[in-house]
């Protein structure tokens, strides 16, 4: 999530370690025609969390795309689902 990344950037600029980031979802739902795909997603064993390396910029406003590296990201195969209309 972008706010998690912003928290990490702000902590880095302040010379601190980021703490816990809590996210609360709103309007989260599953469409009738996505139930099988949803159950398939739930049946998968999660991979270990990746980490992110951030090269420190001069200020919070000077970060560039190239300053961020995601390390150890793994993913399962795509789960295709029809568009819900």
- Ramachandran category for residue 27: left, alpha or beta (phi over 0 → left; psi -120 to 50 → alpha): left
Q: Are 82 and 33 in contact (CB under 8 A)?
A: yes
Q: What is the pLDDT of residue 84?
A: 80
Residue 11: alpha-carbon gap to chain centroid: 18
**Residues 45-52, mean pLDDT to the nearest whole number:** 96
Q: For residue range 50-76, what is the model confidence (pLDDT) as tens digits? A: 999 999 999 999 999 999 999 999 999
Per-residue pLDDT at 43 exceeds 70: yes
Q: What is the pLDDT of residue 1?
A: 61
Q: For residue range 30-41, what is the model confidence (pLDDT) as tens digits? A: 999 999 999 999
Q: What is the pLDDT of residue 8?
A: 95
């Amino acid at each position: 999530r972008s706010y998690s990344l912003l928290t990490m950037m702000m902590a880095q600029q302040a010379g601190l370690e980021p703490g816990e980031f809590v996210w609360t979802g709103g309007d989260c739902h599953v469409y009738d025609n996505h139930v099988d795909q949803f159950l398939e997603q739930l049946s998968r064993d999660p991979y270990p969390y990746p980490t992110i390396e951030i090269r420190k910029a001069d200020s919070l406003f000077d970060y560039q795309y190239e300053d961020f590296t995601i390390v150890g990201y793994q993913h399962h195969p795509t789960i295709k689902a029809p568009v819900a209309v």
